[in-house]
């Protein structure tokens, strides 16, 4: 049977940049993706339930530190980038790309509520000939088994009336080397025609688009990318704990191993995993694997090691305080950095917050300084909010400083000079020459 979406003119509209692109979800993935399509000549509509994000874009402002407000303003002035909370405007779009969060529930099961809500929001406005793409990281089968039925509830059928595809996001916030346009894009389609449409759309603004045989392959490939990082980070975190016992510097060991030009890729330890992907995504696969009576023991062990790192940092901090003649109870501790990685303002799953919580539970008085995060809310204690304090005064007043995020803008020579004790979880003080007796690696 011939597919009714053939002859819809979508490919021609993509080729001439007449196609209108809708991006659902304007966070760390959706905003740069929408800007890439707008910069590529497509009229782009961002849709989000958060009116603050929509208002910022419409006013030419940025709410994400590493995204240039000037570029948002330029794209808005050109008429290519718009934003709205009105999801009925999805009907005017030729392509709809879903970039919504996929967190874990408290039980560590996948939480697909944002995907389901986005699907229900656009389903009443679907029309024949449109392309719908899911970019949210999720377990194999989500696009077909969860999203497709929601979209088809109104009577239109995927592969016949509209195109359906999955293309995993690969954003790395604040990475100037790998921009949205430069990162290769995987694409899997529900049918060959769906794949062709999605390839054409992404190929218009992305330098390299890589087709795979199915949406499930694309979904699992994304999980494998993040699980690879999770497992290797767990390995070096375990090595760090062993090196501390052996009185060796794990960073020196890793750098030495990295001189081998083949068969080794350096990963570096830290206070725990953060961000939306690596602490969360592996558990999407462990959950799905149970359906096939399979236990992903290696992945679960890596998760256990990485989840334990904040507790290890706290224990090392207590030991360092004891060695300096100060107990943890009542000690004034400055957490240096709250974001989950350097040079971003992203607090999602940040291990720094868990470490601050644990220290306060031990009786410490905790402040933090982060030049990019003016305020941080506890994940576990509702209502507990920390506010970034001025660095110089906090250094002088603190019994210990714990480096949790190695922001490039921080002068670590000054930190070591003014602090009584520095507990470094990121090797940020590696180039500091004087005062090294005050530094403890953790």
Judgement on whether residues 206 and 274 belong to the same structural domain of the protein: no
Judgement on whether residues 140 and 279 belong to the same structural domain of the protein: no
- pLDDT at residue number 6: 54
- pLDDT at residue number 1: 36
Q: Are residues 399 and 321 in contact, defined by beta-carbon separation less than 8 angstroms?
A: yes
Query: In Å, what is the CA distance from 45 to each residue of 19, 78, 80, 83, 202?
Result: 11, 13, 8, 5, 16
Q: Are residues 306 and 277 in contact, defined by beta-carbon separation less than 8 angstroms?
A: no
- pLDDT at residue number 2: 42
Tell me, yes or no, whether 235 lies in a domain: no
Number of domains in the chain: 2
Judgement on whether residues 190 and 310 belong to the same structural domain of the protein: no
- What is the token pair recorded at 437? 């007796």
Judgement on whether residues 205 and 292 belong to the same structural domain of the protein: no
Tell me, yes or no, whether 232 lies in a domain: no
Domain end (from 145, 178, 213): 213
Judgement on whether residues 83 and 186 belong to the same structural domain of the protein: yes
Tell me, yes or no, whether 223 lies in a domain: no
Contacts of 354 (CB under 8 A, 6+ apart): 272, 310, 379, 380
Domain end (from 213, 236, 251): 213
- pLDDT at residue number 282: 93
- pLDDT at residue number 7: 46
In the residue annotation, 243 being an active-site residue is answered as no
Domain span at 334:
268-441
Q: What is the CATH number of the domain that holds 304?
A: 3.40.50.720
Look at the block and give the residue holding tokens 């992305």. 206
Domain end (from 195, 213, 231): 213
Tell me, yes or no, whether 261 lies in a domain: no
Please give the model's pTM, rounded to 2 decimal places: 0.93
Q: How many helices (H) and strands (E) does the chain have?
A: 15, 15
- pLDDT at residue number 4: 63
Measured in degrees and rounded to the nearest 5, phi and psi for residue 368 equal: -140, 155
Tell me, yes or no, whether 228 lies in a domain: no
Judgement on whether residues 144 and 292 belong to the same structural domain of the protein: no
Tell me, yes or no, whether 88 lies in a domain: yes
Instruction: State the catalytic residue, choosing from 93, 99, 230, 277.
Output: 277
Tell me, yes or no, whether 260 lies in a domain: no
Judgement on whether residues 167 and 278 belong to the same structural domain of the protein: no
Judgement on whether residues 30 and 100 belong to the same structural domain of the protein: yes
Judgement on whether residues 348 and 420 belong to the same structural domain of the protein: yes
Kindly state the DSSP code that residue 127 receives in the 8-state scheme: -
- pLDDT at residue number 259: 98
> How many CA atoms within 13 Å lie on the side-chain side of 293?
0
Judgement on whether residues 150 and 275 belong to the same structural domain of the protein: no
User: Mean pLDDT, 10 residues at a time, over the chain (442 residues)?
Assistant: 60 97 97 97 98 97 93 96 98 98 91 98 97 98 98 97 97 83 96 98 97 98 96 97 96 98 97 89 94 95 95 98 96 97 94 97 98 94 94 96 97 97 98 95 93
Judgement on whether residues 286 and 435 belong to the same structural domain of the protein: yes
Judgement on whether residues 104 and 32 belong to the same structural domain of the protein: yes
């Amino acid at each position: 049977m011939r597919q009714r979406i053939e002859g819809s003119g979508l490919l021609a509209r993509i080729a001439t940049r007449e196609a209108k692109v809708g991006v659902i979800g304007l966070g760390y993935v959706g905003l740069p993706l929408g800007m890439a399509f707008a910069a590529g000549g497509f009229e782009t509509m961002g849709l989000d339930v958060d009116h603050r994000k929509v208002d910022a874009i419409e006013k030419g402002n940025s709410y994400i530190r590493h995204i240039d407000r000037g570029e948002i303003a330029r794209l808005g002035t050109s008429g290519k980038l718009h934003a709205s909370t009105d999801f009925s405007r999805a009907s005017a779009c030729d392509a709809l790309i879903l970039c919504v969060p996929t967190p874990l529930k408290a039980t560590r099961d996948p939480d697909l509520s944002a995907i389901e809500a986005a699907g229900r929001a656009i389903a009443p406005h679907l029309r024949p000939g449109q392309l719908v793409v899911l970019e949210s990281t999720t377990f194999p089968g989500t696009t077909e088994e969860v999203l497709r039925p929601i979209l088809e509830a109104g009577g239109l059928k995927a592969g016949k009336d509209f195109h359906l595809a999955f293309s995993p996001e690969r954003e790395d916030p604040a990475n100037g080397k790998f921009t949205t346009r430069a990162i290769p894009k995987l694409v899997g389609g529900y049918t060959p025609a769906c794949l062709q449409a999605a390839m054409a759309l992404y190929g218009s603004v992305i330098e390299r688009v890589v087709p795979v045989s199915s949406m499930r392959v694309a979904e699992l490939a994304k999980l494998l990318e993040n699980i690879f990082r999770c497992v290797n980070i767990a390995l070096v975190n375990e090595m760090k704990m062993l090196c501390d016992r052996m009185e060796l510097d794990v960073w020196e060991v890793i750098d030495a191993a990295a001189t081998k030009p083949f068969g080794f890729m350096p990963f570096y330890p830290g206070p725990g995993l953060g961000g939306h992907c690596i602490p969360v995504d592996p558990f999407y696969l462990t959950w799905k694997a149970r359906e096939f009576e399979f236990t992903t023991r290696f992945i679960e062990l890596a998760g256990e090691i990485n989840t334990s790192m904040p507790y290890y940092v706290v224990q090392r901090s207590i030991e360092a305080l004891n060695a300096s003649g100060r107990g943890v109870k009542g000690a004034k501790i400055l957490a240096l950095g709250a974001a989950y990685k350097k040079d971003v303002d992203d607090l999602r799953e940040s291990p720094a917050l868990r470490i601050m919580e644990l220290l306060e539970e031990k009786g410490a008085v905790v402040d933090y300084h982060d030049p990019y995060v003016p305020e941080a809310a506890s994940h576990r204690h509702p209502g507990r909010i920390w506010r970034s304090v001025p660095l110089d005064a906090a250094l002088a007043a603190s019994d210990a400083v714990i480096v949790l995020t190695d922001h490039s803008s921080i002068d670590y020579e000054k930190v070591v000079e003014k602090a009584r004790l520095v507990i470094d979880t990121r090797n940020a003080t590696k180039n500091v020459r004087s005062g090294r007796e005050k530094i403890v690696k953790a």
